[in-house]
Structure 1
Amino acid sequence: MPDARLYPTRPFLAASVAVFRDGRVLLAARANPPMAGRFSLPGGLVEPGETLREAALRELAEEVGIEAEIIGFADHVEVVERDERGVKFHFVIAAFAARWRAGEPCPSAETGAVVWADPADIGALPTTAGLAAIVAKAQSVLLSA
């Protein structure tokens, strides 16, 4: 069965969450394309009838097994990849800032390694494009709350 996310006829809406605990942010390595092996924020597609916040928290629980409290909206991220056939991927991701509430992160079928990272050290990791900037915005939201 072909992946409906490849060469889409429309953008896909997704939500992610930057969860902070003791000054560190939770990052998960993507297990599947696009960008497999790169660290990013836990997140995924919004399901019909689900709010962006609900989607972010559901994906957080499914992907890494933790609970958090969303503090606010950080920003949106657009992932558009093109090749000779046209638009290969197009995702619009609403990113939220949150505080850790419960659970210890563990990998899942959608994530590889899971780490609590110092935001200042993100540049040393293989990450999705723009991750350091969105984490900085999320950290700012958290500090201003």
Structure 2
Amino acid sequence: MTDNRLYPTRPFLAASVAVFREGRVLLAARGKPPGEGLFSLPGGQVETGETLGEAALRELEEEVGVKAELIGLLAPVELIEREANGRVKHHVVIAPHVARWVSGEPRTGPEAKEIRWITQSDIADLPLTPGLAGILDLAFQLARRDAGR
């Protein structure tokens, strides 16, 4: 097996997190392929010995400097990108989480070129990674339930 994410010999496991603050969710424009320039949730690869939730929170802090508290886990998302000949170029299984903001003001960096706190109505106006709109719909539902407790 190889750790090469381009033309992998196996799927990679990643975790992401939809962080909510005052009814808005944090999105970051990806700074690297795949999906460079598209808005997505902060996240990245799960490391050995790390839970999905730990990975999501670690990646959030590393990528954008924000700390959060998890409130839920959504259904996993599988991203598979193939070449015209069928060869798998990327294959990532992502476990998206929902969290509430605790501290830190988001900052850009190599993995997050632009950062926005958006409302649910802003989703349609942004270029998003594939499948993110559906994930955000579910995340907003969970965040509203959490806020109502």
In the alignment, does 2:139 pair up with 1:138? yes
Report the counterpart of residue 45 of structure 2 in structure 1. Answer: 45
**2:86 and 2:94 mapped to 1: Cα distance?**
23
Identity %: 59
Moved segments of 4+, more than 6 Å: none
* 8 Å CA contact 1:74, 1:141 repeated in 2: no
**1:85 and 1:135 mapped to 2: Cα distance?**
30
| Pairs aligned (count) | 144
Report the counterpart of residue 7 of structure 1 in structure 2. Answer: 7
* 8 Å CA contact 1:75, 1:137 repeated in 2: no
Deviation, 1:85, is: 5.6
**Cα deviation code 1:24-75 (max 9, x no counterpart):** 1000000000010000000000000000000000000000000000001122
Q: What is the TM-score with the length of structure 2 in the denominator?
A: 0.92
Runs of 5+ in structure 2 lacking a partner? none
The one-letter amino acid paired with 1:81 is E
* 8 Å CA contact 1:119, 1:132 repeated in 2: no
Q: How does 1:60-75 map to 2 (within 5 A)?
A: 60-75=60-75
Q: Which has the higher strand share?
A: 1
Deviation, 1:129, is: 0.9
Report the counterpart of residue 107 of structure 1 in structure 2. Answer: 108
State the SS of the aligned residue for 1:81: strand
Report the counterpart of residue 36 of structure 2 in structure 1. Answer: 36
**Cα deviation code 1:71-101 (max 9, x no counterpart):** 0112211110000260100000000010001
**Cα deviation code 1:109-128 (max 9, x no counterpart):** 11100010112211111110
Runs of 5+ in structure 1 lacking a partner? none
**1:121 and 1:144 mapped to 2: Cα distance?**
20
In the alignment, does 2:76 pair up with 1:76? yes
